[in-house]
Amino acid sequence: MAPPPPPLPLPLSSPSRDPLTNMPTLTYPPSTPLSKLSPTELTSLHSLLTELARLHSTADPAINPLDLFLLLSSDHPDASLLKFLRARSYSAPNGLKQMLQTLAWRRQVGILELSGQGESGVLLDCPEILYGSTPDPPVGYIWGQDALHRPVVWIVLKSWEPKRIPREVLQKHLLVFFEELKGMAGWPVEGAMIVMDINGFSLTKHMDMQFYKFFMEITQSHFPESLGRCLIYGSSYQTRIFNVLFSLLSPMIDARVKSKIGFVSKKEELGREFEGGLESAWISARYGGMSGREYVYEAPPAEDLTITDAANAKFAKGRQEEEARAHQLLTKWFDLTNTWIKTSKSGTATEEEVMRAWREREDVGCEMRECWRRFMGCVKEGRKGLWERRGVLGGDGSVDWAKAL
Protein backbone atom coordinates (compact mmCIF):
# COMPACT_ATOMS: atom_id res chain seq x y z
CA MET A 1 0.00 0.00 0.00
CA ALA A 2 1.29 3.42 -0.91
CA PRO A 3 2.10 5.69 2.02
CA PRO A 4 -0.50 8.34 2.75
CA PRO A 5 0.16 11.73 1.13
CA PRO A 6 1.86 14.29 3.36
CA PRO A 7 -0.53 16.63 5.14
CA LEU A 8 -1.21 19.92 3.41
CA PRO A 9 0.48 22.88 5.10
CA LEU A 10 -1.84 24.84 7.31
CA PRO A 11 -2.71 28.24 5.85
CA LEU A 12 -1.24 31.24 7.64
CA SER A 13 -4.00 32.65 9.79
CA SER A 14 -5.12 36.23 9.69
CA PRO A 15 -4.37 38.08 12.91
CA SER A 16 -7.15 38.48 15.44
CA ARG A 17 -8.81 41.89 15.48
CA ASP A 18 -9.85 44.39 18.10
CA PRO A 19 -13.68 44.52 18.24
CA LEU A 20 -13.76 48.32 18.59
CA THR A 21 -11.23 49.38 15.95
CA ASN A 22 -11.10 46.25 13.75
CA MET A 23 -7.32 46.65 13.89
CA PRO A 24 -5.18 43.49 14.01
CA THR A 25 -3.96 42.73 17.52
CA LEU A 26 -0.34 42.15 16.59
CA THR A 27 2.58 42.06 18.98
CA TYR A 28 5.29 44.39 17.74
CA PRO A 29 8.80 43.86 19.13
CA PRO A 30 9.90 46.01 22.09
CA SER A 31 12.50 47.69 19.87
CA THR A 32 9.73 49.80 18.34
CA PRO A 33 7.44 52.44 19.93
CA LEU A 34 4.48 50.55 18.46
CA SER A 35 4.95 47.84 21.10
CA LYS A 36 3.37 50.09 23.75
CA LEU A 37 0.30 51.15 21.78
CA SER A 38 -3.26 49.99 22.29
CA PRO A 39 -5.33 49.26 19.15
CA THR A 40 -7.08 52.62 19.57
CA GLU A 41 -3.77 54.48 19.83
CA LEU A 42 -2.40 52.62 16.81
CA THR A 43 -5.49 53.66 14.84
CA SER A 44 -4.78 57.28 15.77
CA LEU A 45 -1.17 56.92 14.58
CA HIS A 46 -2.39 55.41 11.30
CA SER A 47 -4.71 58.39 10.78
CA LEU A 48 -1.92 60.89 11.39
CA LEU A 49 0.46 59.01 9.08
CA THR A 50 -2.14 58.76 6.31
CA GLU A 51 -2.77 62.51 6.34
CA LEU A 52 0.95 63.34 6.47
CA ALA A 53 1.57 61.00 3.54
CA ARG A 54 -1.19 62.72 1.57
CA LEU A 55 0.22 66.19 2.28
CA HIS A 56 3.68 65.02 1.28
CA SER A 57 2.57 63.30 -1.94
CA THR A 58 0.62 66.37 -3.09
CA ALA A 59 3.52 68.73 -2.29
CA ASP A 60 1.23 70.68 0.03
CA PRO A 61 2.84 74.06 0.88
CA ALA A 62 2.04 73.45 4.55
CA ILE A 63 4.92 70.96 4.64
CA ASN A 64 8.53 71.55 3.66
CA PRO A 65 9.91 68.04 2.96
CA LEU A 66 13.33 68.71 4.51
CA ASP A 67 11.80 70.24 7.64
CA LEU A 68 9.49 67.24 8.03
CA PHE A 69 12.36 64.81 7.48
CA LEU A 70 14.48 66.51 10.17
CA LEU A 71 11.60 66.58 12.66
CA LEU A 72 10.83 62.88 12.14
CA SER A 73 14.38 61.56 11.87
CA SER A 74 15.91 63.24 14.91
CA ASP A 75 14.41 60.24 16.74
CA HIS A 76 12.69 57.02 15.70
CA PRO A 77 10.11 58.45 13.23
CA ASP A 78 7.17 56.84 15.04
CA ALA A 79 8.48 58.07 18.40
CA SER A 80 8.62 61.61 16.98
CA LEU A 81 4.99 61.39 15.84
CA LEU A 82 3.77 59.81 19.05
CA LYS A 83 5.10 62.73 21.09
CA PHE A 84 2.65 65.03 19.32
CA LEU A 85 -0.17 62.49 19.61
CA ARG A 86 0.33 61.89 23.34
CA ALA A 87 0.51 65.62 24.00
CA ARG A 88 -2.89 65.95 22.29
CA SER A 89 -4.52 62.91 23.93
CA TYR A 90 -4.14 60.80 20.77
CA SER A 91 -6.32 63.10 18.68
CA ALA A 92 -4.91 62.74 15.16
CA PRO A 93 -6.38 66.08 13.90
CA ASN A 94 -5.02 67.97 16.91
CA GLY A 95 -1.67 66.21 16.72
CA LEU A 96 -1.37 67.08 13.03
CA LYS A 97 -2.33 70.70 13.68
CA GLN A 98 0.38 71.02 16.31
CA MET A 99 2.96 69.35 14.06
CA LEU A 100 2.25 71.79 11.22
CA GLN A 101 2.51 74.72 13.62
CA THR A 102 5.82 73.38 14.92
CA LEU A 103 7.22 72.93 11.42
CA ALA A 104 6.34 76.55 10.59
CA TRP A 105 7.76 77.76 13.91
CA ARG A 106 11.05 75.90 13.45
CA ARG A 107 11.58 77.53 10.07
CA GLN A 108 10.60 80.95 11.42
CA VAL A 109 13.09 80.92 14.32
CA GLY A 110 15.82 79.26 12.24
CA ILE A 111 16.33 76.09 14.27
CA LEU A 112 18.59 74.55 11.62
CA GLU A 113 20.88 77.58 11.49
CA LEU A 114 21.06 77.78 15.30
CA SER A 115 21.93 74.09 15.49
CA GLY A 116 24.70 74.69 12.98
CA GLN A 117 26.24 77.37 15.19
CA GLY A 118 25.93 75.19 18.30
CA GLU A 119 28.10 76.17 21.24
CA SER A 120 30.24 78.50 19.14
CA GLY A 121 27.29 80.84 18.68
CA VAL A 122 26.61 80.90 22.43
CA LEU A 123 30.31 81.49 23.21
CA LEU A 124 30.30 84.53 20.95
CA ASP A 125 27.03 85.88 22.38
CA CYS A 126 27.44 85.23 26.12
CA PRO A 127 30.04 82.74 27.46
CA GLU A 128 28.54 82.98 30.95
CA ILE A 129 25.59 80.86 29.80
CA LEU A 130 27.95 77.91 29.32
CA TYR A 131 30.58 78.58 31.97
CA GLY A 132 28.43 80.00 34.76
CA SER A 133 29.63 82.76 37.06
CA THR A 134 31.86 81.89 40.02
CA PRO A 135 30.80 80.42 42.38
CA ASP A 136 27.50 79.61 40.66
CA PRO A 137 27.13 76.93 37.95
CA PRO A 138 25.52 77.66 34.56
CA VAL A 139 21.80 78.33 34.53
CA GLY A 140 21.22 75.01 32.77
CA TYR A 141 23.31 71.95 31.94
CA ILE A 142 23.04 68.19 31.36
CA TRP A 143 24.79 65.87 33.82
CA GLY A 144 24.12 62.14 34.29
CA GLN A 145 21.02 60.00 33.96
CA ASP A 146 18.26 58.66 36.20
CA ALA A 147 16.97 55.12 36.79
CA LEU A 148 15.06 55.21 33.48
CA HIS A 149 18.22 56.28 31.60
CA ARG A 150 16.77 59.74 31.02
CA PRO A 151 19.36 62.54 30.82
CA VAL A 152 19.22 64.83 33.84
CA VAL A 153 18.93 68.56 33.19
CA TRP A 154 19.97 70.77 36.09
CA ILE A 155 18.45 74.26 36.12
CA VAL A 156 19.82 76.75 38.66
CA LEU A 157 17.49 79.74 38.69
CA LYS A 158 19.74 82.01 40.73
CA SER A 159 22.40 81.76 38.00
CA TRP A 160 20.26 83.77 35.62
CA GLU A 161 19.90 87.48 36.16
CA PRO A 162 18.16 89.25 33.26
CA LYS A 163 20.35 92.30 33.80
CA ARG A 164 23.50 90.25 33.08
CA ILE A 165 22.25 87.77 30.49
CA PRO A 166 19.90 89.26 27.87
CA ARG A 167 16.64 87.36 27.49
CA GLU A 168 17.01 87.11 23.70
CA VAL A 169 20.42 85.45 24.04
CA LEU A 170 19.17 82.95 26.63
CA GLN A 171 16.14 82.11 24.50
CA LYS A 172 18.38 81.39 21.51
CA HIS A 173 20.62 79.18 23.64
CA LEU A 174 17.56 77.36 24.99
CA LEU A 175 16.56 76.31 21.47
CA VAL A 176 20.06 74.94 20.78
CA PHE A 177 19.97 73.20 24.18
CA PHE A 178 16.65 71.48 23.43
CA GLU A 179 17.89 70.29 20.04
CA GLU A 180 21.01 68.78 21.63
CA LEU A 181 18.94 67.22 24.40
CA LYS A 182 16.86 65.34 21.82
CA GLY A 183 20.01 63.50 20.80
CA MET A 184 20.35 62.11 24.33
CA ALA A 185 16.67 61.44 24.98
CA GLY A 186 15.63 59.51 21.89
CA TRP A 187 13.78 56.21 21.75
CA PRO A 188 13.66 54.07 23.89
CA VAL A 189 14.37 56.87 26.39
CA GLU A 190 11.29 59.04 26.80
CA GLY A 191 11.95 62.62 27.87
CA ALA A 192 14.39 64.11 30.34
CA MET A 193 14.54 64.40 34.11
CA ILE A 194 14.68 68.07 35.10
CA VAL A 195 15.91 69.21 38.50
CA MET A 196 15.12 72.87 39.08
CA ASP A 197 17.13 74.36 41.95
CA ILE A 198 15.16 77.34 43.28
CA ASN A 199 17.42 78.05 46.26
CA GLY A 200 18.50 81.68 46.09
CA PHE A 201 15.70 82.57 43.67
CA SER A 202 14.56 86.17 44.08
CA LEU A 203 11.46 87.82 42.66
CA THR A 204 13.41 91.05 42.26
CA LYS A 205 16.60 89.66 40.67
CA HIS A 206 15.42 86.63 38.70
CA MET A 207 11.83 87.37 37.68
CA ASP A 208 11.15 87.62 33.93
CA MET A 209 7.66 86.40 33.09
CA GLN A 210 8.21 86.78 29.36
CA PHE A 211 11.09 84.29 29.42
CA TYR A 212 9.27 81.79 31.64
CA LYS A 213 6.23 81.95 29.34
CA PHE A 214 8.54 81.34 26.38
CA PHE A 215 10.03 78.32 28.16
CA MET A 216 6.60 76.81 28.87
CA GLU A 217 5.33 77.48 25.35
CA ILE A 218 8.18 75.79 23.49
CA THR A 219 8.33 72.90 25.97
CA GLN A 220 4.67 72.04 25.59
CA SER A 221 4.00 73.01 21.97
CA HIS A 222 7.20 72.53 19.99
CA PHE A 223 9.16 69.98 22.03
CA PRO A 224 6.21 67.92 23.33
CA GLU A 225 6.89 65.11 25.78
CA SER A 226 10.45 66.40 26.31
CA LEU A 227 9.70 66.42 30.04
CA GLY A 228 9.76 63.01 31.65
CA ARG A 229 9.83 64.27 35.25
CA CYS A 230 10.50 67.62 36.95
CA LEU A 231 11.65 68.01 40.54
CA ILE A 232 11.60 71.51 41.98
CA TYR A 233 14.16 71.59 44.78
CA GLY A 234 14.29 74.28 47.44
CA SER A 235 13.78 75.01 51.10
CA SER A 236 10.27 75.60 52.42
CA TYR A 237 10.99 79.33 52.48
CA GLN A 238 12.24 79.34 48.88
CA THR A 239 9.27 77.27 47.77
CA ARG A 240 6.88 79.89 49.15
CA ILE A 241 8.69 82.56 47.12
CA PHE A 242 8.80 80.42 43.98
CA ASN A 243 5.08 79.64 44.30
CA VAL A 244 4.37 83.27 43.37
CA LEU A 245 5.90 82.57 39.96
CA PHE A 246 4.41 79.08 39.74
CA SER A 247 0.88 80.36 40.44
CA LEU A 248 1.21 82.79 37.52
CA LEU A 249 2.47 80.07 35.18
CA SER A 250 0.09 77.35 36.37
CA PRO A 251 -2.84 78.28 34.05
CA MET A 252 -0.50 77.80 31.06
CA ILE A 253 0.64 74.32 32.12
CA ASP A 254 -1.50 71.47 30.80
CA ALA A 255 -2.63 68.68 33.11
CA ARG A 256 -0.28 66.08 31.61
CA VAL A 257 2.77 68.26 32.32
CA LYS A 258 1.55 69.19 35.81
CA SER A 259 1.29 65.52 36.72
CA LYS A 260 5.05 65.17 36.15
CA ILE A 261 6.06 68.01 38.51
CA GLY A 262 7.02 67.39 42.14
CA PHE A 263 8.50 69.48 44.97
CA VAL A 264 11.28 68.40 47.34
CA SER A 265 12.69 70.55 50.15
CA LYS A 266 15.61 68.49 51.47
CA LYS A 267 18.68 67.26 49.62
CA GLU A 268 18.20 63.82 51.18
CA GLU A 269 14.78 63.61 49.50
CA LEU A 270 16.31 64.67 46.22
CA GLY A 271 19.07 62.08 46.57
CA ARG A 272 16.52 59.32 47.17
CA GLU A 273 14.81 60.21 43.89
CA PHE A 274 17.95 59.03 42.12
CA GLU A 275 18.69 55.86 44.05
CA GLY A 276 19.46 53.10 41.59
CA GLY A 277 19.68 55.55 38.72
CA LEU A 278 21.99 58.51 38.93
CA GLU A 279 25.21 57.14 40.42
CA SER A 280 26.90 59.02 43.25
CA ALA A 281 29.71 59.97 40.88
CA TRP A 282 27.24 62.15 38.98
CA ILE A 283 25.28 63.84 41.74
CA SER A 284 27.11 66.31 43.95
CA ALA A 285 26.93 66.41 47.74
CA ARG A 286 24.92 69.63 47.70
CA TYR A 287 22.14 67.71 45.93
CA GLY A 288 22.17 64.70 48.23
CA GLY A 289 24.80 62.64 46.46
CA MET A 290 28.25 61.46 47.47
CA SER A 291 30.40 63.17 44.87
CA GLY A 292 32.45 66.29 45.39
CA ARG A 293 32.78 66.70 41.65
CA GLU A 294 30.73 69.41 39.95
CA TYR A 295 29.81 69.87 36.33
CA VAL A 296 32.47 71.86 34.50
CA TYR A 297 32.10 73.16 30.96
CA GLU A 298 35.02 72.48 28.65
CA ALA A 299 35.35 74.75 25.63
CA PRO A 300 35.63 73.30 22.12
CA PRO A 301 39.00 73.34 20.35
CA ALA A 302 39.95 76.60 18.66
CA GLU A 303 39.60 75.08 15.19
CA ASP A 304 35.87 74.60 15.82
CA LEU A 305 35.49 78.37 15.82
CA THR A 306 37.37 78.90 12.54
CA ILE A 307 36.36 76.69 9.61
CA THR A 308 38.55 76.90 6.49
CA ASP A 309 37.20 77.63 3.02
CA ALA A 310 38.12 74.10 1.92
CA ALA A 311 36.18 72.62 4.85
CA ASN A 312 33.22 74.89 4.07
CA ALA A 313 33.13 73.62 0.49
CA LYS A 314 33.36 70.00 1.67
CA PHE A 315 30.50 70.35 4.15
CA ALA A 316 28.35 72.30 1.68
CA LYS A 317 28.71 69.50 -0.88
CA GLY A 318 27.97 66.85 1.76
CA ARG A 319 24.92 68.76 2.94
CA GLN A 320 23.57 68.96 -0.61
CA GLU A 321 24.06 65.21 -1.14
CA GLU A 322 22.44 64.26 2.17
CA GLU A 323 19.49 66.57 1.55
CA ALA A 324 18.82 64.83 -1.77
CA ARG A 325 19.07 61.48 0.01
CA ALA A 326 16.68 62.71 2.71
CA HIS A 327 14.02 63.54 0.12
CA GLN A 328 14.33 60.06 -1.41
CA LEU A 329 14.13 58.30 1.95
CA LEU A 330 11.13 60.32 3.12
CA THR A 331 9.18 59.48 -0.04
CA LYS A 332 10.12 55.80 0.24
CA TRP A 333 9.16 55.73 3.94
CA PHE A 334 5.72 57.20 3.23
CA ASP A 335 5.18 54.71 0.38
CA LEU A 336 6.03 51.82 2.71
CA THR A 337 3.89 53.39 5.43
CA ASN A 338 0.87 53.37 3.12
CA THR A 339 1.57 49.73 2.24
CA TRP A 340 1.88 48.74 5.90
CA ILE A 341 -1.36 50.51 6.87
CA LYS A 342 -3.23 49.06 3.89
CA THR A 343 -1.96 45.56 4.72
CA SER A 344 -2.88 45.99 8.39
CA LYS A 345 -6.44 46.96 7.52
CA SER A 346 -6.88 44.21 4.95
CA GLY A 347 -9.24 41.53 6.13
CA THR A 348 -7.30 38.85 4.25
CA ALA A 349 -3.65 39.68 5.04
CA THR A 350 -1.80 37.24 7.26
CA GLU A 351 0.16 38.27 10.31
CA GLU A 352 3.37 37.44 8.46
CA GLU A 353 2.41 39.78 5.61
CA VAL A 354 1.63 42.64 8.00
CA MET A 355 4.91 42.18 9.86
CA ARG A 356 6.90 41.97 6.62
CA ALA A 357 5.44 45.30 5.50
CA TRP A 358 6.25 46.80 8.89
CA ARG A 359 9.86 45.51 8.84
CA GLU A 360 10.54 47.03 5.41
CA ARG A 361 9.27 50.37 6.69
CA GLU A 362 11.30 50.03 9.89
CA ASP A 363 14.50 49.43 7.90
CA VAL A 364 14.00 52.66 5.96
CA GLY A 365 13.33 54.48 9.24
CA CYS A 366 16.80 53.38 10.41
CA GLU A 367 18.30 54.71 7.16
CA MET A 368 16.53 58.02 7.78
CA ARG A 369 18.11 58.28 11.22
CA GLU A 370 21.59 57.67 9.78
CA CYS A 371 20.99 60.22 7.04
CA TRP A 372 19.88 62.74 9.67
CA ARG A 373 23.16 62.27 11.58
CA ARG A 374 25.25 62.77 8.45
CA PHE A 375 23.22 65.81 7.37
CA MET A 376 23.49 67.48 10.78
CA GLY A 377 27.23 66.77 10.81
CA CYS A 378 27.49 68.80 7.60
CA VAL A 379 25.24 71.56 8.98
CA LYS A 380 27.51 71.83 12.04
CA GLU A 381 30.57 71.75 9.75
CA GLY A 382 32.17 69.03 11.82
CA ARG A 383 31.75 70.81 15.16
CA LYS A 384 30.94 68.53 18.09
CA GLY A 385 28.94 69.34 21.19
CA LEU A 386 30.37 68.99 24.69
CA TRP A 387 29.14 65.44 25.25
CA GLU A 388 30.28 64.31 21.83
CA ARG A 389 33.74 65.68 22.61
CA ARG A 390 33.74 63.88 25.95
CA GLY A 391 32.66 60.61 24.30
CA VAL A 392 29.35 60.37 26.20
CA LEU A 393 27.26 60.73 23.05
CA GLY A 394 28.44 58.32 20.36
CA GLY A 395 28.27 58.85 16.63
CA ASP A 396 25.56 56.18 16.46
CA GLY A 397 23.38 57.96 19.03
CA SER A 398 24.41 55.72 21.94
CA VAL A 399 24.93 57.30 25.37
CA ASP A 400 27.59 56.19 27.86
CA TRP A 401 27.84 58.41 30.93
CA ALA A 402 30.75 56.40 32.32
CA LYS A 403 32.93 58.25 29.81
CA ALA A 404 32.14 61.56 31.50
CA LEU A 405 34.02 60.61 34.67
pLDDT, one tens digit per residue, over 29-61 is 998 999 999 999 999 999 999 999 999 999 999
| pLDDT, tens digit, 9 for 90 and up, residues 378-388 | 999 988 999 99
DSSP three-state, residue 4 = coil
Where residue 296 falls among pLDDT bands split at 50, 70, 90?
confident
Residues 313-333 have a mean pLDDT of 96
Where residue 25 falls among pLDDT bands split at 50, 70, 90?
low
With pLDDT > 70 as the criterion, what percentage of the chain qualifies? 89
pLDDT of the residue at 275: 63
2 torsion bin: left (phi>0), alpha (psi -120 to 50), beta (else): beta
310 torsion bin: left (phi>0), alpha (psi -120 to 50), beta (else): alpha
Domains of the chain: 36-109+306-383 (no CATH), 117-300 (3.40.525.10)
pLDDT of the residue at 393: 94
Where residue 14 falls among pLDDT bands split at 50, 70, 90?
low
* pLDDT of 19 strictly over 90: no
| pLDDT, tens digit, 9 for 90 and up, residues 208-262 | 999 999 999 999 999 999 999 999 999 999 999 999 999 999 999 999 999 999 9
Q: 338: burial class by Cβ within 10 Å (0-12, 13-18, 19+)?
A: middle
Residue-averaged pLDDT of the chain: 88
Q: Rounded to whole angstroms, what are the CA distances from 43 to 46, 50, 307, 362?
A: 5, 10, 48, 18
**Spatial strand order in the sheet of 261-264:** 140-145, 151-156, 192-197, 227-233, 261-264
* pLDDT of 20 strictly over 60: no
| pLDDT, tens digit, 9 for 90 and up, residues 119-144 | 888 888 889 888 887 778 899 999 88
pLDDT of the residue at 303: 74
